[in-house]
A and B are shown apart, each in its own frame.
Chain A
Amino acid sequence: DTGVSQNPRHKITKRGQNVTFRCDPISEHNRLYWYRQTLGQGPEFLTYFQNEAQLEKSRLLSDRFSAERPKGSFSTLEIQRTEQGDSAMYLCASRSGTERSEQYFGPGTRLTVT
């Protein structure tokens, strides 16, 4: 399968715990995006990587959120001290570096904070 993959697909955690999600983009794509989607809404942009550089972050990305993309390949999104409001679907997308093109989304990680 050469699409975008995300792990885990589901995560249930207690409030206050830390969680980490992983995204593996399409191998030749150097641009990677994280989005968050709550029930009944469209996805909202969180952060953007070009190769290993994090070039843009949304104001939605509080200090408890951190994202990395070491070596410009896979990416991780960590949430520290989770809150119930963090419950959402976290989506990763990648695209090629050519002219503005479509983004390819992974299946998402559904986070439930109890």
Chain B
Amino acid sequence: SQQGEEDPQALSIQEGENATMNCSYKTSINNLQWYRQNSGRGLVHLILIRSNEREKHSGRLRVTLDTSKKSSSLLITASRAADTASYFCATDEGTSYGKLTFGQGTILTVHP
């Protein structure tokens, strides 16, 4: 079953703009991870944030985590056409062997 919801389901922006995607989840977690998937391909890990962290940065990516609201957001700054992909949040609930529970994803389209 899916852990939660991602919002929006689809996002269309122009190159250079920022893109923000949100993820909500239902249970307590050990960590939350964001992945990118290009059409029909495997998933690429972007960033991992642990439950005791509130914000993390990696290049043009910024992730926040609010465990009280059970939500996370992914911000991509200065987007590029190559950022066009589906983005998934995934939670590690810490009660099993590190299996991930994914949201349904946000489809991001960046127009050149």
Contacts and interface: CB of A to CB of B under 8 A. Distances in A.
Interface string A41-59: 1111100101000011000
Contact of B43 (A31, A91, A100): A91
Interface stretch (B13-21, B59-67, B75-83, B98-106): B98-106
Interface residues of A, number: 29
A36 B104 CA distance: 13
Contacts of A105: 35, 42-45
Describe A's contact surface by its main secondary structure.
strand
B43 A43 contact: yes
A103 B42 contact: no
Contacts of A44: 1-2, 102
B90 A107 contact: no
Contacts of A107: 41-42
B42 A106 contact: yes
B40 A110 contact: yes
Interface of B: 1-2, 30-31, 33, 35, 40-45, 48, 50, 88, 90, 92, 94, 96-105
30 contacts: A6-B42, A31-B98, A33-B98, A33-B99, A35-B100, A41-B104, A42-B2, A42-B90, A42-B104, A43-B88, A43-B102, A45-B99, A45-B100, A55-B97, A56-B96, A89-B40, A91-B42, A91-B43, A93-B43, A100-B31, A101-B48, A102-B33, A103-B98, A104-B45, A105-B42, A105-B44, A105-B45, A107-B41, A107-B42, A108-B42
Interface of A: 4, 6, 31, 33, 35, 40-45, 48, 50, 55-56, 89, 91, 93, 95, 100-108, 110
